[in-house]
Amino acid sequence: MAHSRAVVWIQPHEAKLFAFDADKVERKRIPADDARAHAARDSGNVRDEHLRDDRQFFEAVLAAVEGDLDDSGRWVIVGSDKPASEFGKYVHDHAEALQAKLVGVERSSDLSEQKILDLARRRLGAAARVDQGRA
């Protein structure tokens, strides 16, 4: 079922997609490719985020957003600084249709699920009011 709003909580090891409307929230977990962690371990580098290629992970997240967001939907990215920035740049460079629906990128870490949804509702509610003002 397509929803009018969505938020992606993105971290190096996974993304969580919350697609929602006024009365319903659907949740999906998109794990990062396990091969990245194996490659980092094999190289002896503990900081695997510098070694990996995030394209497959980002494409999986984008596919989930595309599948859960309706044609007029809006969405926001939330995450710690580097993952949120890198994913936001990837969306800008590789996903024109979803970029047009993206309201913003919020950099924040260690948020509960409820705080992520509250933040998204605030950002997306403001976007909805702007959209209604244009009609």
Q: Tens digits of per-residue pLDDT, 123-133?
A: 998 555 444 44
**SS3 label, residue 63:** helix
What is the spatial distance between Cα 103 and Cα 106, in angstroms, rounded to a whole number? 10
Is the separation of the CB atoms in 103 and 76 below 8 Å?
A: yes
pLDDT tens digits, one per residue of 53-78: 789 999 999 999 999 999 999 999 99
Question: How far from 126 is each of 28, 122, 131, CA to CA, in Å?
Answer: 24, 6, 9
How much is the pTM?
0.80
Average pLDDT of the chain is 84
Over residues 17-42, the mean pLDDT reads: 77
For the chain, which domains are there? 3-134 (3.30.420.60)
Report the DSSP beta bridge partners of residue 8.
17, 77
Question: Could you please report the per-residue DSSP string of 2-62?
Answer: -EEEEEEEE-SSEEEEEEE-SS-EEEEEEEPPHHHHHHHHHHT-S-GGGT---HHHHHHHH
Pick from 14, 1, 18: which is nearest to 121 by CA?
18
What token pair was written down for 61?
A: 């997240």
